Amino acid sequence: MIPTVAPSRPSHELVPLLTALAIAVLLLFLGGAAQVVILSLLLAYILDPAATALEARGMSRTLAVVIVVLTLTVVIGGTAYLLVPAVMDQMGALQSGATTEQAADAIRDIEHWLKGSFSFLGLEDLDLLARIAAFKQSFAERIFAFLLNDSLSLIVNAVTIPFMMFFFLKDGREMKKKLVSMVPNRYFEFTLDMLYKMDMQLGNYLRGQFVDAVAFGVMSVVALWILGVNYFVFLGVFAGLANLIPYVGPIAGVIPAAIVAVLGSGDLNSATPVIIAYFILKLLDDFVVAPAIVASSVEMHPVLVLIAIMIGGELFGILGMLLAVPVAGFFKVVLQEGVSTYRKYRFN
Amino acid sequence: MTDFRARVFGYNRKAKPDEELHAILEKIPVFEGFSPRELAALGRVLHKREYLPGEVIIRQDEPGLGMYIIQSGEAAVISGRDDVQLSVLGDGDFFGEVSLLDETPRSATVVARTHCLIFGFFQSDLFGLIERDPRFGVKIVIRLAKILGDRLRKANVQVLALTERVHELNAPAPR
């Protein structure tokens, strides 16, 4: 007969509960640190197949991870090397408040059009040039203040994120095994089963999203370069990142590019080719690139996605908005797989 | 440093190979004849579990995720509504190896009779091995396929013998 009384192990039973509680407390009270850990984990998770592929070619895990991390550092470092001078130039121009004659013409055209089309809103006193100059001044001041105040944490993050990512990539398997070993015997197989199925669904989804963002960013850079838009690298990378945010992202990506195109040429019509180019790119992305890259998608209701984006933005700003959808997808898969796997087991 | 890592992460890669574990693994048909390097790689993915007397290791009708190898202790295999004891497993015995390839429900319940130290090797671990070291992973899969092939051949012989016996029994008695 199967004994009905299972051996009690109070300390072991409490481990998952305490772990979950500790994670919740960490997320709530150590927002910044949690952000760094989540980002490092996410990057390690996305890059894991690259390290595994190198391992399959006969390399040790450590060497494979070193190569992956070095490659990523070179790519990010190279992009930053290309971007920083352009961004600094733009900052300088912004702070000096200098506006080119073409840009001033374009702004005057927009002002004229706004006053003509929306006179019923009482826009007679609208002085766009003065308002833009004031906004640019305060914006540039805010950016410099951010760089001065947060430069230390930026440097710390620039070091800690790759450092943590390296160890998550290298020792992640052992860490996961160690965590699973703490699960009580009765829930051990269930946990393994759920983790594996979650990994299958979520891994494909997150990696697909990452590759899709890179592809969209590269396509945007090329399109803006062909159209002769200033700061095409910066704007293209921004569009690629923004594309990670559903619904809002594609619009957020096209607006700065259109504004830069208008201010650069002084012609309102120069926004049209940029908008058309983004429209074509979005179609290409939705119907050609994404179906080929994103193997499985985590279907979520649009309202749920928007709520996740708002919460992410409220808690962690722009990075939070970028991480909101993958994190919401993670919870959805955890819940979905958790429930379906739980049903297969006869827990009392 | 290694001590620190071992304390923090609970493992130590530079530790001496677990000879006791290797000796057990070598005797299991699935891993027979594997090199020490392969056994060490296998040892790294195994999950070590501890069961107290009376604790259920696997439950009949629940999804089968992989195989278990008993390092030490005794476990009873039980089946059916009346919990009929089919056999008793001891040190070095293993069960559930077919679940490495097929996630069908467990056909019996296994309960620890004494304090048991058990190693678990699961489908997800096998898939991970195939991804990281395809040659080694495929070696395990082929070994499993051979074992299943042997069992199928034996089952076919038994089915044939039983069919012949049924024919004999159904044949009209000579007048």
**Assigned CATH for B19-167:** 2.60.120.10
Identify the domain containing residue A322 by its residue range. Answer: 190-259+270-348
Average pLDDT, chain A: 77
CB-nearest to A56 from B11, B111, B133 is: B133
CB-nearest to A185 from B9, B49, B122 is: B49
- Residue to test with chain A: of B4, B13, B44, B47, most A Cβ within 10 A: B47
As a whole number of angstroms, the distance between CA B64 and CA B103 comes to 5
Residue A320 lies in a domain: yes
CA distances (Å), B91 to each of A49, A338, B36, B127, in order?
A: 37, 34, 21, 27
Q: What residues have CB less than 8 Å from B30, skipping those under 6 apart? A: B67, B97, B140, B143, B144, B147
Q: Work out how many domains chain A is built from and give that number.
A: 1
In this model, does residue A128 exceed pLDDT 60?
yes
Average pLDDT, chain B: 84
As a whole number of angstroms, the distance between CA B37 and CA B129 comes to 13
As a whole number of angstroms, the distance between CA A222 and CA A327 comes to 30
In this model, does residue A186 exceed pLDDT 50?
yes
In this model, does residue A304 exceed pLDDT 60?
yes
What does the DSSP 8-state code read for residue B62? S
Contacts of residue A6 in chain B, CB cutoff 8 Å? 54-56
pLDDT of residue A152: 73
CA distances (Å), A112 to each of A64, A124, A125, A308, in order?
A: 60, 10, 12, 39
- Name the least confident of A135-144, A238-247, A265-274, B17-26: A135-144
Alpha helix (H) residue ranges in chain B:
2-9, 19-26, 36-45, 123-132, 134-170
pTM summary value: 0.69
As a whole number of angstroms, the distance between CA A132 and CA A136 comes to 6
* Residue B90 region by backbone torsions, left for phi larger than 0, else alpha for psi between -120 and 50, else beta: beta
Q: What residues have CB less than 8 Å from B134, skipping those under 6 apart? A: A56
As a whole number of angstroms, the distance between CA A84 and CA A93 comes to 14
As a whole number of angstroms, the distance between CA A12 and CA A183 comes to 7
Contacts of residue B120 in chain A, CB cutoff 8 Å? 188
Asked whether the ipTM of the predicted complex exceeds the cut of 0.90, the reply is: no
Of the candidates A65, A261, A79, the one whose C-alpha atom is nearest the C-alpha of residue A163 is A65
B133 touches A: beta carbon within 8 Å: yes
Pairwise CB contact (< 8 Å): A177 & B47? yes
B36 touches A: beta carbon within 8 Å: no
pLDDT, tens digit, 9 for 90 and up, residues B97-128:
888 888 788 889 999 999 999 999 999 899 98
Provide the Cα torsion A83, A89, A90, A95; round to 10°: 140
State the nearest Cα–Cα gap between A199 and chain B, in angstroms. Answer: 10
pLDDT, tens digit, 9 for 90 and up, residues A36-88:
888 888 889 889 989 999 988 888 889 999 999 999 888 888 877 877 776 66
A331 near A20, Cβ under 8 Å? no
C-alpha gyration radius of chain B: 20
pLDDT, tens digit, 9 for 90 and up, residues A84-109:
776 666 656 555 555 566 667 767 77
Q: Residues in chain B, how many?
A: 175
- How do beta strands B109-112 and B56-58 pair? antiparallel
Residue A237 lies in a domain: yes
pLDDT, tens digit, 9 for 90 and up, residues A235-259:
888 888 888 887 778 888 888 888 8
